[in-house]
Amino acid sequence: MTTKNPFSNFVYKLYSFNLGYRKFVCWWKNDILKKNQYHIGLRKGEGSVNVVMVETPEQVRQIAEYYRNFKVLADHREYLSILIHTSTIDFLVISTGIGTPPIAIGMEELAIIGVKRFFYLGSCKSLSSLLKEDEFLIVKAAIKEDGTSREYLPMIIPAVGDVDLINKARSAFKDMGISFKTGISLTVDLDPHHLPAQIPLQAQYEQQIQVFKEGGALAADRAAAGIYAVATKIHRLACCILRACEAESELPLPLIKSLPAVLS
């Protein structure tokens, strides 16, 4: 006859029902979580719980130079990470490249080091007269026509942003007098600004784009659905802000100025 061990029963219950304890055990037993993450070059405790993701290292430097008080944390592959200090809030700015695969890799590793809220500043192509050139689109949901988002979430599950973060961005833009729209974007893998002259199934592709436009999609981009799908899967909050312009364009000064209000 086996005797009950009260301590073992306590540990079993703690591990089974206490998520914080389970996370601690996983971190303690897993050396990978303690080391610098391979792609972004950062480890747990570095950076901030808030991160602003942009397309290029030049855009990261642009934000850092505006706020002046900053610290370069890592520069590996396309991921340049700079910690920004402002009078109201500190936040991490990182370049993630263009397209959902490198963004997903960056988000996974950023979540491991402690990031809780993701803000993405990117580009898009307007599909509607409602969204004018150089105007901002705060994406409330994205159509998953890219590959990455469908790897993270089944097609039946929508890619949606966090309502609180979206409302915070809307409020900050209104206070700053920044012109914007809130709506749905279509995320694709091809560059919507520079489609090849001929692609396989071109007629079908153009027909799909027209259907999405008629369904209310305001823009086409290469990030939003992937960001929202990854955030949903890893249980983090996310908000995508897109500008109707060419990719890798210089960030407008009003957008940079609005970041502390958006992040606070």
Q: What is the 3-state secondary structure (H, E, C) of 10-41?
A: HHHHHHHHCHHHHHHHHHHHCHHHHCCCCCCC
What percent of the chain is modeled with pLDDT above 90? 76
Reported as a single tens digit per residue, the pLDDT across 247-256 is 999 999 999 9
- Give domain status of residue 17, yes or no: no
Domain range holding 129?
Answer: 40-263
**pTM for the whole structure:** 0.86
Nearest-CA neighbor of 213 among 186, 192, 193?
186
Report the CATH number that the domain containing residue 208 is assigned in CATH.
Answer: 3.40.50.1580
- Give domain status of residue 206, yes or no: yes
Structure tokens at 131: 């969204």
- Give domain status of residue 5, yes or no: no
Reported as a single tens digit per residue, the pLDDT across 141-182 is 999 999 999 999 999 999 999 999 999 999 999 999 999 999
- Give domain status of residue 30, yes or no: no
- Give domain status of residue 28, yes or no: no
- Give me the pLDDT at residue 193, please: 83
Mean pLDDT of all residues in the chain? Answer: 90
Q: Which helix (H) or strand (E) holds 151?
A: helix 147-152
Interaxial angle between packed helices 19-29 and 6-17, expressed in degrees from 0 to 180 and rounded to the nearest 10 = 100
Distance CA 140, CA 145 (A): 16
- Give domain status of residue 9, yes or no: no
Q: What are phi and psi of 176, to 5 degrees?
A: -85, -5
Distance CA 115, CA 82 (A): 14
Residue 186: pLDDT above 70? yes
Q: In which band, very low, low, confident or very high, does the pLDDT at 119 lie, cut at 50, 70 and 90?
A: very high
What's the total number of domains in the chain? 1
Q: In which band, very low, low, confident or very high, does the pLDDT at 205 lie, cut at 50, 70 and 90?
A: confident
Q: What are phi and psi of 35, to 5 degrees?
A: -90, 170
